[in-house]
Amino acid sequence: MITHVVMFQLKEEANGLSKAENAKKMKTLLEGLVEKVESLQAMEVGINFNDSPAAFDVVLTSRHEDREGLKKYADHPAHLEVLSFILSVIADRKVVDFES
């Protein structure tokens, strides 16, 4: 089993929307991928409420059967479309992929 974790720091404003509005839109778009990407077994998206300076704004955790499944997810046209939006609203991101 592969777990893919991404933390996102959002811009204060992007695409005419506030950070909070873009976080909600990201959550909706990402969660919609579960129905579109066959190799995506599970996904959870959380919006941060912690005001620590070390905190990121949004976290994504997805699960895939194997590394090939993760690659299929990464390359899927639906994911690439969502990724295009995400890249337009984030200031930073951190990624961890691990096997269990």
Give the fold, CATH level 3, of 2-99.
Answer: Alpha-Beta Plaits (3.30.70)
For 67-90, how does the pLDDT look when each residue is reduced to its tens digit (9 = 90+)?
A: 999 999 999 999 999 999 999 999
For 44-64, how does the pLDDT look when each residue is reduced to its tens digit (9 = 90+)?
A: 999 999 999 999 999 999 999
Sheet holding 42-47, edge to edge: 42-47, 58-64, 2-10, 90-99
pLDDT of 98 reads 98
pLDDT of 3 reads 98
pLDDT of 21 reads 98
For 1-21, how does the pLDDT look when each residue is reduced to its tens digit (9 = 90+)?
A: 999 999 999 999 999 999 999
pLDDT of 62 reads 98
Taking the model in full, what pTM does it have? 0.94
Q: How many C-beta neighbours within 10 Å does residue 82 have?
A: 20
Domain residue ranges of the chain, discontinuous segments joined by +: 2-99
